[in-house]
Structure 1
Amino acid sequence: MSQLLTRLSAAERALGRLDGVSILLPNKELFLYMYVRKEAVLSSQIEGTQSTLSDLLRFETEAVTGKPLDDVREVSNYVDAMMYGLERMPELPISLRLIREMHGRLLDSGRGATQNPGEFRSSQNWIGGTRPGNAMFVPPPPNEVMNCLGEWERFAHAETPGIPPLIKAGLLHVQFETINPFLDGNGRLGRLLITLFLCTEGVLRQPLLYLSLYFKTHRADYYRLLQEVRERGAWEAWLEFFLDGTAETANQAFDTAHRIATLLAADRERIVAEANRTASVLKVHDLMRTRPFLTAVAVAEKTTLTMPTVNAALAQLQVLGIVKEITGRKRGRVFAYSAYLDILSEGAGV
């Protein structure tokens, strides 16, 4: 138990630092916008999709993508489900209704569209193997799903002063994955609910903690520990893993936030010091904070700049080494904010 308390203390300290940096960020909406997308990519990669963060961002800006469209669409759906959950939380706290609505968005299109989006399962599913008889794990039968979910929801909302919110988040995650209430998307939704719960409990003011990189890096341990809870009630080993992941992930997010803020400030200073037509170049740079892949047409649409001014500003950013043209074409060229993407993409593919 002392090991668990030590890990809990480290995780809470790391979360406190991360929550503090959200106040210091010059544009926390920007950081959240990009970080949510990184989480969507990582969580989907655990389930086997091949999309990278660059694929998603290029898909969103209608630039060229080299990956199967279904893969990118699944990740885009995850972003939509997560943002929907965050927006709904003030009026609709974590509940079975919110979970169903988020699931409907998660599986709205792509390969999951045939797996009853937004509906709790009415048939048996299993994990591993080819049938329940040889599966690694068989979740509760369909006639018990609603009863189990009702208990899960009651525990989520219960006053539990003796259970710190971080510990409770770890318990709720295992319970949700064990119930496995949908035909598809349980893992992605269950990971998303961790952060929503911590925001609901006031542990985080901004939803900046996402554990999918840690779970992806330690995928074998993640699945093994979930199974050991089910088979032997090994809660303490799972919670130690969960708290270690929380501390490591929060510290990485803190570091990433600082590096991004430093990069954006340094590039802005270089533009002011070295660029011609500083105002228009700064305008394009500001736009690339939220759209690190851009075409000249998109810049003209999103700003009041003319096409000649846009092209001149993009040329300046290329000369400064801040953006790169990535297609090699003369028409329909796509520009990337490479250093920014490099920081964000660590662990999520290129």
Structure 2
Amino acid sequence: MQDLSNFKAGVFAKTSGYKYFIPEKINMQYKWSDIELTQLCDKATLKLGELNAFASLVSDIDHFIQMHVAKEATVSSKIEGTQTNIEETLQREEFISPEKRNDWREVNNYIKALNEAINGLKKLPLSSRLLKKAHKTLLKNVRGEHKMPGEFRRSQNWIGGASLKDAVFVPPTADLVGQAIGDVENLMHNDECGLPHVMRIALAHYQFETIHPFLDGNGRIGRLMISLYFVSHEVLSKPVLYLSDFFEKNKTLYYDNLMRVRTHNNLVQWLKFVLVGIIETAQKAIDGLKKIIAIKKKIEEQKIVKLGKKITVAKTLSDYLFLQPIVLIDNVVKVTGLSKVSAYKLIEDFEKLGILVETTGMLRYRMFQFKEYFDIFKN
């Protein structure tokens, strides 16, 4: 049985002009005696239970999940250098400036990949096959489209630096990838390993990032894997927890803690870091859901009731805004079935009630934002 404090991450091997890392297998039984780690683990597990219970009480939770997904895609892609913000993510491509369209496509590919993967869990276990399908969607028609989408790499990659010789970190050679990822899969499904779910996925994520099995998109797929894990193991019944925002805000610590496992075998510190992230992110998600419920109640009980005979169609539009908080007149016409003239009048009603705010200042292609709801996901 492996004590976490004596964890052996692997060894660096030298080849022509550079060192690469050979990770040890991680699918084994574990124990630990660190009291702080135990306390954080218990707190993270309880907080996820609280989030899951709260989410199950929220009607129309799937509507709100799409905004969580949009934010996750935006932030996870931001870590990799894209410049799209969440407002742009939710707009149609033709409204995005040409110099930002590649970034917009990458983020929207991530949204599609995430949604497909979550739906894929109904038929497939969390596995290499599922992650490869997500990776193929992620790289479709974007800058990484020539980097073996949907396939594990067959050549050496590296992290940081301009070449293998000045890289910050060089993952294992391509011939080791398949076996190493298989070991990660085995750990994720090994209920006898002794690690609670919150620690098991933290270890699996570390190992995935260390293996770096794809030529591109490893960070995004590795972070996606965390959300998929909690849903696939029924820790969460709905995908309402995404850690990318915590990782992005603590980016230096994220990379430093990953590296210290490889160089100093300090797995315990990495686990503590992730557990803190789970606790903070779960609490933020709970707070966000509470705010959403309050906003929805205020709109339905205090605002749209003032619209008299329009209340039914107003309810239809307000429900839609929780799914799509940036709308054009065409969206309103389609979702309500109103004529364009009547749809404009309804939008004007929503502006007067403080529900919608016009954001473009243009006469044509005017966009309206459900600002109070949107602001929950911007913080």
1:34 aligned to 2:29?
Answer: no
Gaps of 5+ in 2: 1-33
Separation in 1, partners of 2:165, 2:300:
61
Give the corresponding residue for 1:321. 354
The list of structure 1 runs, each at least 4 consecutive aligned residues, that deviate by more than 3 angstroms after superposition, is none
Which segment drifts farther, 265-274 or 333-342?
Answer: 265-274
Give the corresponding residue for 2:30. none
Give the corresponding residue for 2:326. 293
Query: Tell me, what secondary structure is at the counterpart of 2:208?
Result: helix
Given candidates 161, 165, 170, the residue that maps to 1:133 is: 165
Given candidates 199, 207, 214, the residue that maps to 1:182 is: 214
Separation in 1, partners of 2:143, 2:171:
22
Amino acid in structure 1 at the alignment position of 2:179: N
* 1:171-320 superposed matches below 5 A: 171-276=203-308, 277-320=310-353
Give the corresponding residue for 2:77. 44
Q: Deviations over 1:134-185 (max 9, x none)?
A: 2111000111111212222222222325111111001100110000000100
TM-score normalized by the length of structure 1: 0.95
Given candidates 79, 90, 106, the residue that maps to 1:74 is: 106
Q: Is the 8 A contact 1:37 1:79 kept in 2?
A: yes
Deviation at 1:18, TM superposition (A): 0.6
1:343 aligned to 2:376?
Answer: yes
Question: How large is the RMSD of aligned CA atoms in angstroms?
Answer: 1.4
Amino acid in structure 1 at the alignment position of 2:346: A
Deviation at 1:311, TM superposition (A): 1.1
Separation in 2, partners of 1:43, 1:272:
36
Query: Tell me, what secondary structure is at the counterpart of 1:58?
Result: coil
% identity of equivalent residues: 36
TM-score normalized by the length of structure 2: 0.88
Separation in 1, partners of 2:163, 2:274:
30
Give the corresponding residue for 1:65. 96
Higher relative contact order (CA 8 A, sep 6+): 1
Given candidates 115, 119, 125, the residue that maps to 1:93 is: 125
Higher strand share: 2
Separation in 2, partners of 1:82, 1:34:
12
Separation in 2, partners of 1:184, 1:173:
16
Number of equivalences: 344
Deviation at 1:212, TM superposition (A): 0.5
Higher helix share: 1
Deviation at 1:65, TM superposition (A): 2.8
Which segment drifts farther, 145-154 or 244-253?
Answer: 145-154
Q: Deviations over 1:106-131 (max 9, x none)?
A: 11122121211111111110111122
Given candidates 27, 51, 54, the residue that maps to 2:87 is: 54
Given candidates 120, 123, 136, the residue that maps to 2:155 is: 123
